[in-house]
Chains A and B, each alone.
Chain A
C-alpha cells in the first residue's frame, strides 16, 4: 500500500469550508477557555463553596443551607440587603433625572455645548478610587471642603461629620455615587437624543404639539431603549460596586451603609469563606434576573 489514498482522504476531509470553520474556532477558543476558567468555573465554584463550611486552610464539608440560614438571622446581612436595594433605587432615579436633564440641555443648539459636554464627563474619566477618596476628604469634619463651604457661606453654621453618623452616612454615599455615576447616563441619553430625526419634531410641531407633548410623543420613545439598558446595567454595577462604600465608610457607622460586596469582603477577612461566599451567592437570583433581562435587550439591539 502506498500512502496516496490516505493523503487523498485527508485532503477531502480538509475542504475549504472545514478549513474556514477550523480557523473560526481557533480564533475564538482562547477567549472561550479564559472565560470558562476565569468566569464560568469560579461562578459555579462560588455556589458550591456557599454550601460548605470552608475556612482558610480547610476545604470544609457540605452543610446544606446552613450558611444561608445563619445569614437570614444576621442583622448585618439584613442591613446589607435593604441598603443595597435602597442605594440602587435612589442612585438610579437620581442619575436618570440628572443625566436626562443635562442631556436635554446639551442637546440644544447652544454655543459652547461641546465644552459643557467635556466637563460633564469629567467624573466618569476619573478613576473610581480617586473619586471616592476625594469625596472622603471632602466630607471630613477637619480638612473637608463641604463643611468649609457650608460654614463660610453661612448655609449651615455647624460642622457635620458626614460619614461618621447614621443619618448622613447613606445620603453622603449616594451623593458621591451619583456624582461619579451620572455621566454614563448623561452620555448614553445624549447619544440617543442625537439619533432622533429632527423631522419628527418638525412634524409634531406642525401638528400643534406643545413642548410637553413633543417630549412624550417624540423624545421619550426615542430614548426608551437606551434608558432601559442603562438602568439595567447601572443596577447591576451599583449593586455590586465595592469601592464607593469601602473607600467612604467601610459599611459603617454600625452597618448604616453596609452593602453586599463589602459584607462578602469582611467575610473573607474573617476567613469564614463558606459564609462569605453565601453572601455573594445570595444576590445571585436577583442578579440573574437582571442579567437575563439585559442580555435579551442587548442582543436584540445587536442583531438589529
Chain B
C-alpha cells in the first residue's frame, strides 16, 4: 500500500470527499483491472502457441479461429516422427546437462576460493569474471567459431559444449559467489576445528548450506545452454548435430508456413523449463536479485 492507493482526496460526484474505505476499494479495483489486463496480454501469446499446435491446417490458414472446432495432435505427430524432433531435443539435453555439470563444479570451486581466501590478484580475477559474464556472445561467436575449426571441433556437440562454457562459467561463478557469501564463516571455522580439511569444509558445510543457490544456478545455466541459438547456428552444419532451437530455426526457413508443427515444437521445448521454473520460482527470484541474470 505504498504509492498507488491514495492519491490525495478524490472527490465523488456530489463534491464530498470520498471516505477512506471507498478510496481503498476503488484503488483495489483499478489495481486488479490493470493487473488483469497485463496478465491477459501475457497469456495471449502463450495461448496462441498452444492452440496453434493443436489446430488442423484448415483452421490455421483458411478459416482462422480463436477457438478451434476440432483439436488434433497431428502437428505433434509430424514434428516428432516426420521431422524427428526428438533427436534435436536429445542433443539439447546432452549439451545443456554437460554444460551445467561442468560449469557448476568448476565455478563452485572458484567462487569458494574467491569468497573465502585473500590472495594476490584476487581483485583482478574478480573483475575478469564479471567482465567475462557481461561480454556478449555476439562479440565472441566469430573468433570462437574460428577457434573451434582450428581445434577440429566444429559441427560437433563437444564444440558446442565448449563454446557454451564461455558464458555459463562466468555466470555460474558470479552467482555462486553471492550465495557462498551468505554462508556464515563461523560454521566453517567450527568444522575446521572439528578436524575437517578445507575441502571437507567445502563439501560438508558450504555446499549443503548453499543447496538452494546451487539449484538456482544450475537451472539458470541449463536454461542458458538450452536456449542458445547463435553459437549453434555458426558451429553446427549437419542435421544430426542440431539442437532444439536450431531445428526449429531451420523449420521456418525450409518449409512453407509450418506454423502447426513449429508451435508444437515450441510447446515441447518450453514445457520442461516452464515446469522447472514454476516449481523452483522462489529460488529463481532470489538468484535473480542476488546477481542479476540474463533475461
A contacts, CB < 8 Å to B: 20-21, 23-25, 27-28, 30-32, 34-35, 38-43, 45-46, 49, 98, 101-102, 104-110, 116, 118-131, 133-138, 140, 142-143, 145, 148-149, 152, 179-181, 183-184, 187-188, 191, 193, 196, 201, 210-212, 214-215, 218-219, 229-230, 233-234, 236-237, 239-243, 246-247, 260-261, 264-265, 268, 273, 276-277, 280-281, 283-284, 287, 291, 294-295, 298-299, 302
Contact of B273 among A28, A125, A211, A264 (CB under 8 A): A125
216-262 of chain B: CB within 8 A of chain A = 223, 226-227, 229-230, 233-234, 245, 248-249, 252, 257, 259, 262
A133 touches B252 (CB 8 A): yes
**Sampled A-B contacts (22; CB under 8 Å):** A27-B109, A28-B114, A30-B106, A30-B109, A30-B110, A31-B109, A31-B129, A102-B34, A108-B5, A119-B39, A119-B42, A122-B274, A129-B245, A137-B263, A140-B259, A143-B52, A145-B45, A145-B66, A193-B2, A234-B295, A280-B139, A291-B134
Shortest beta-carbon contacts, A-B, top 3:
A184-B295, A240-B136, A42-B143
Q: State the interface size on chain B (CB cutoff 8 A).
A: 103
In the assembled complex, how far is the CB of residue A43 from the closest CB belonging to chain B, in whole angstroms? 7
B64 within 8 A of A: yes
B294 touches A237 (CB 8 A): yes
Interface 0/1 of B121-137, CB less than 8 Å to A: 00001111111101111
Contact of A120 among B38, B233, B293 (CB under 8 A): B38
A102 touches B35 (CB 8 A): yes
How many contacting A-B pairs (Cβ < 8 A)? Answer: 304
In the assembled complex, how far is the CB of residue B58 from the closest CB belonging to chain A, in whole angstroms? 11
Contact of B147 among A45, A128, A265, A283 (CB under 8 A): A45
Q: A27-B113, A268-B145 are in contact. Are A43 and B139 (CB under 8 A)?
A: yes
Identify the stretch in B70-78, B159-167, B183-191 within 8 Å (CB) of chain A at 4 or more residues.
B159-167
Q: A21-B117, A246-B229 are in contact. Are A102 and B38 (CB under 8 A)?
A: yes
Contact of A24 among B117, B132, B223, B234 (CB under 8 A): B117
B248 touches A145 (CB 8 A): no
Most buried by A among B34, B65, B198, B292: B292
Q: Report how far A148 CA is from B45 CA in the complex, Å.
A: 13
Q: A35-B129, A122-B46, A273-B142 are in contact. Are A127 and B169 (CB under 8 A)?
A: no
| Residue in chain B with minimal CB distance to A46 | B143
In the assembled complex, how far is the CB of residue A259 from the closest CB belonging to chain B, in whole angstroms? 9
Measured between beta carbons, the chain B residues less than 8 angstroms from A32 are: 110, 125, 128
B109 touches A28 (CB 8 A): yes
B35 touches A116 (CB 8 A): yes
B269 touches A127 (CB 8 A): yes
Contact of B117 among A20, A188, A264 (CB under 8 A): A20
In the assembled complex, how far is the CB of residue A195 from the closest CB belonging to chain B, in whole angstroms? 9
Q: Report how far A149 CA is from B64 CA in the complex, Å.
A: 11
| Residue in chain A with minimal CB distance to B270 | A130
B3 touches A215 (CB 8 A): yes
Q: Report how far A193 CA is from B1 CA in the complex, Å.
A: 11
Q: A125-B277, A233-B292, A268-B142 are in contact. Are A130 and B49 (CB under 8 A)?
A: yes
Contact of B1 among A28, A109, A128, A180 (CB under 8 A): A109
B101 within 8 A of A: no
Q: Report how far A218 CA is from B270 CA in the complex, Å.
A: 40
Measured between beta carbons, the chain A residues less than 8 angstroms from B54 are: none
